[in-house]
Amino acid sequence: GDSVTQMEGPVTLSEEAFLTINCTYTATGYPSLFWYVQYPGEGLQLLLKATKADDKGSNKGFEATYRKETTSFHLEKGSVQVSDSAVYFCAPRREGSQGNLIFGKGTKLSVKP
Amino acid sequence: EAGVTQSPTHLIKTRGQQATLRCSPISGHTSVYWYQQALGLGLQFLLWYDEGEERNRGNFPPRFSGRQFPNYSSELNVNALELEDSALYLCASSLHRGRGTEAFFGQGTRLTVV
């Protein structure tokens, strides 16, 4: 079945450091790809998405590029802030009867001042 | 515009009892999804309803069931509760069921089984 592999963390960075969170997926067909973020004590919020190969999703300084050939959708940010501390989830979504979002375990990010 | 709302926020049940969790999607959204978030296990897909029908079901036992009402709200029922059912249950909704459609999440219901 469909699945997602992410570095589990926790990832601990200093403020203004560069962030990369790797995400690879297996999914039948041609999924869209999403990154969601969960701040402490809250539900999930959409961070960014990409719907076709080579598309770049971006939001709040975060970016991710849909790499179909490597089935990857790595999340990057050039300079993290303490307020970015959260759990990040990568999720593919495909068409059809199994077209619900598939999540992995998420990656916990802690940013220290 | 109101987001996805879930009730109750917290629920404490005894092992063997039944729990009912409720979800109201964003107005106009026809798809509702249920996920279980247990500690350390990420989000596990439970159920997906769209326009009143069950579209897909995750790898959970039959004592996890649900339904979607004509107004697209949904409820999740968990029968014969077990201690390991303790988790945060998240509901999400989307406008359509297409692959590019994002899902919006509620704040969740924290179920504790004692």
Is the Cβ of A9 closer than 8 Å to some Cβ of chain B?
no
Q: Determine the average pLDDT of the residues in B61-68.
A: 97
3-state SS class at A107: strand
Lowest mean pLDDT among A21-30, A58-67, B69-78, B97-106: B97-106
Question: What is the per-residue pLDDT across A10-67, written as a single tens digit (0 to 9) for each?
Answer: 999 999 999 999 999 988 888 899 999 999 888 899 999 999 999 999 999 999 999 9
Structural element, H or E, at residue A99: none
3-state helix, strand, coil split of chain A in percent (to 5) is 5, 50, 50
Residue of A nearest to B102 (CA): A46
CB contact under 8 A, B99 and A46: no
Residue of A nearest to B40 (CA): A105
CA-CA-CA-CA torsion for A4, A10, A15, A18, nearest 10 degrees? -40
Question: What is the per-residue pLDDT across A24-38, written as a single tens digit (0 to 9) for each?
Answer: 998 888 889 999 999
Is the Cβ of B33 closer than 8 Å to some Cβ of chain A?
yes
- Per-residue model confidence (pLDDT) at position A95: 76
Interface test with chain B among A21, A37, A100, by most B beta carbons within 10 Å? A100
pLDDT above 90: residue A96: no
pLDDT grade for A99, boundaries at 50, 70 and 90: confident
A50, A73 contact by CB (below 8 A): yes
- Per-residue model confidence (pLDDT) at position A89: 96
A92, A30 contact by CB (below 8 A): no
Q: Which of A5, A50, A58, A57 is nearest to A31 (CA)?
A: A50
